Amino acid sequence: MARHRQSSGEEQSGGVEVAPLLIIGVLTLVALSLWLWRGARLETLVKAPTLQVQAPGGSVEKPAPRVAPEPTLQVPRLPEGVISAHWRTKGADAVLARPDGSTLSLTLRPKVQSAIQRYLNGRHVPYGGVVLMDPRTGAIHAWVEHQEAGDPVGEGHGLTRAKAPAASVFKVVTAAALLEAGARPSDETCFHGGRRGITNRLLKDSKADTRCETLAVSLAHSSNVPFGKQAVRRLSAGALTATAEDLFFGRALPFDVETGASWVQISDERVSLARSAAGFVGTSLSPLHGAVLAATVANDGVMMRPWVVAGDSLQPGMQRKPAAIGRVLPATVARDLRGMMRLTLSEGTARRQFSRWPKSLADVHVAGKTGTLSRTVDGTRRNYTWFVGFAPAEDPEIAVAALAVNGPRWHTRGPSMARQALAAWFRDDRARKKARASAKVQGKAKATQPTERSAPKAAKKKSAATAPPQG
């Protein structure tokens, strides 16, 4: 019995030894699993996957490096009239001096500026303003005005003030709207009358309509009734106003000098719409805006921001860069307008004034549009004459706007002023090109000329031996 109990005690003792081992094994497996899970979790948290942007074709596209913006010239807004009154020549350039002695360099051409100023001063026009603008860059190359002292006719006008009626210059805007509406330069309109105004009777087709003109010829001759008829047939007041607003009527142009907006107000009433389309009522224009309008047509419908400040001595190294306002006309419309505006000089309303075009510039053809309107303001009779255009007509380099305001006595007209300004520009431009070409030739000749070397000693001795005696 004692042996049995001992044997049984040995069996019970063995069972107690195995159980802990099993428990320890299970706990070890659980701990190992927890450790492996936690490690994977920590690795996931520490090494987060990065975003990969797949470019077309499966390649990884790296983010573009950040480029620091180029420093730009900070242009101060100049008060009206300060440039035309206070610019001066410094070397071959035009500048505007500040009271502290610092200067703003300008895009003006001094010789051109001076030539136009002499012409206006000599004519004693109550008010005359001329702007020359590069249609490709927007740079202003002439900014000239004259106001005759003591003459009330010229009061209130300025190069950035839209005090003058747009007159028939607005036909350029109407023509653009008509072309966009589907009209063609070759479309004919038959009419009669309308030299002084437009009535409802003249807008109706009748047997008296014995004169017929294409749209291009009507623009060249500034025929009022054809533009009125075409406008009431093809356009609404809203459509014509929209084209005008695209061309910055009703908005102030961005410029270095304080500007006022050229205004537009067109009614849907039939006769009123026709009169506005012809330029009788509803619009005004500044000389600056007139130059921008012509430059936009010359530049295939892209309007450039006008600018006159090129640099500042207080901002050394900073240069002004041209900037486009945007495309405001379809290129096809602008090109049609360019062709139509050429007829103004060859057979239209500016043919007489430009018949005095210098023979030395006979190869330069001008395109443009005239405008003439008279009205009484505050008891004073004012006669306004405009010319806006560009040259050469085939490949424009310069755009011009010229406004003359006369009283009962006529001193000069807008087309004559524009002729003088364009002639001064091309003479100066050709002189500059000739000077540059000459300097280039001289530079090449100097570069290719052999340097003079001293003769060999033997030659020098021989020369001295054979030289004739002096005295």
Average pLDDT over residues 400-418: 97
- Residue-wise pLDDT for 270-318, tens only, equals 999 999 999 999 999 999 999 999 999 999 999 999 999 999 999 998 9
Please check whether residue 367 is in contact with residue 344, taking contact to mean a CB–CB distance below 8 angstroms.
yes
Average pLDDT for the chain: 86
pLDDT number for residue 463: 44
> Which residue is listed with tokens 């900070």?
74
Decide: helix, strand or coil at residue 164: strand
Helix axis angle for 270-278 and 224-234, nearest 10°, is: 130
pLDDT number for residue 9: 41
Q: Cα separation of 146 and 149, whole Å?
A: 9
pLDDT number for residue 55: 42
Report which of residues 459 and 403 the model is more confident about.
Answer: 403
What is the bridge-based pairing of β-strands 93-97 and 324-327?
Answer: unpaired
The residues pairing with 101 across neighbouring beta strands, listed in sequence order, are: none
The highest-confidence range among 46-50, 198-202, 431-435, by mean pLDDT, is 198-202
Evaluate if residue 242 carries a pLDDT over 90.
yes
Q: What distances in angstroms separate CA 89 from CA 107, 123, 165, 222, one per listed residue?
A: 12, 24, 34, 40
- Residue-wise pLDDT for 33-75, tens only, equals 544 444 444 344 334 444 344 444 444 455 666 665 667 899 9
Average pLDDT over residues 337-341: 98
Using alpha carbons only, give the angle 263, 266, 272 rounded to the nearest 5 degrees.
135
Average pLDDT over residues 113-135: 98
**% of the chain exceeding 90 in pLDDT:** 74
Evaluate if residue 444 carries a pLDDT over 90.
no
**% of the chain exceeding 70 in pLDDT:** 80
Domains identified in the chain and CATH numbers: 82-433 (3.40.710.10)
- Residue-wise pLDDT for 345-365, tens only, equals 999 999 999 999 999 999 999
Average pLDDT over residues 209-226: 97
pLDDT number for residue 29: 58
- Residue-wise pLDDT for 164-177, tens only, equals 999 999 999 999 99
Q: Cα separation of 367 and 365, whole Å?
A: 7
The residues pairing with 400 across neighbouring beta strands, listed in sequence order, are: 132, 389
65 upstream amide cis, omega within 30 of 0: no
Evaluate if residue 417 carries a pLDDT over 70.
yes
Confidence band (pLDDT; 50, 70, 90) for 6?
Answer: very low
Closest CA to 369 of 142, 176, 181, 128: 176
Q: What are the φ and ψ backbone dihedral angles of 124, each rounded to 5 degrees? A: 55, 40
For residue 266 the two structure tokens come to 């067109």
pLDDT number for residue 137: 98
Please check whether residue 109 is in contact with residue 91, taking contact to mean a CB–CB distance below 8 angstroms.
no
